[in-house]
Amino acid sequence: AQSVTQLGSHVSVSEGALVLLRCNYSSSVPPYLFWYVQYPNQGLQLLLKYTTGATLVKGINGFEAEFKKSETSFHLTKPSAHMSDAAEYFCAVANAGGTSYGKLTFGQGTILTVHP
C-alpha cells in the first residue's frame, strides 16, 4: 500500500524567506508524485507533478520540488515566500500500475502561514 507523510502540520515563514515543505512517501512501485494547494473554501489546485525524467520539477507560482528516490522524498520549495502563498499544501502519490493505478493518496496537509 502506498502512503504519504508530510512533516509539520504548520509551517510559518516571513515574507521573502525560503519556503520548505517536507513530504516522504512509501510505494512498492515507482511512484507518480504531486503537490496540490488549497486556498480557503476552494478545491485543490495542482502545483506540480513528477512522472518520469528530470527529478527537479518546476511548477506554478515559483514552486519547485525534487524527487529523491534514495530518500523517498519529494520536498516542495520556493526561494522567496509571498503573502499570497498562504494556504494548505498537500503532497500526494499515485502508483504507475497495480490496483491503485490512477488513484491519489494524500498526506495530511501542511498549512503555510506567511508573516509580513
Partner 1 sequence: EAGVAQSPRYKIIEKRQSVAFWCNPISGHATLYWYQQILGQGPKLLIQFQNNGVVDDSQLPKDRFSAERLKGVDSTLKIQPAKLEDSAVYLCASRGGTKPFTSSGNTIYFGEGSWLTVV
Which positions lie near partner 1, rule CB under 8 A? 4, 9, 32, 36, 41-46, 49, 51-53, 90, 92, 94, 96-97, 99-100, 102-109
Q: Helix, strand or coil for residue 88?
A: strand
Contacts by residues 39-47 (CB-CB < 8 Å, ≥ 24 positions apart): 39/87, 40/87, 44/90, 47/76, 47/89
- For the chain, the distance separating the N- and C-terminal CA atoms, rounded to the nearest angstrom, is 41
Least distance between partner 1 and beta carbon 96 (Å): 6
Least distance between partner 1 and beta carbon 15 (Å): 26
Q: Is 75:20 a contact under the CB 8 Å cutoff?
A: yes
Question: Closer CB to partner 1, residue 52 or residue 116?
Answer: 52
Question: Closer CB to partner 1, residue 17 or residue 111?
Answer: 111
φ/ψ of residue 70, rounded to 5: -65, -25
Question: Closer CB to partner 1, residue 17 or residue 72?
Answer: 72
Least distance between partner 1 and beta carbon 93 (Å): 11
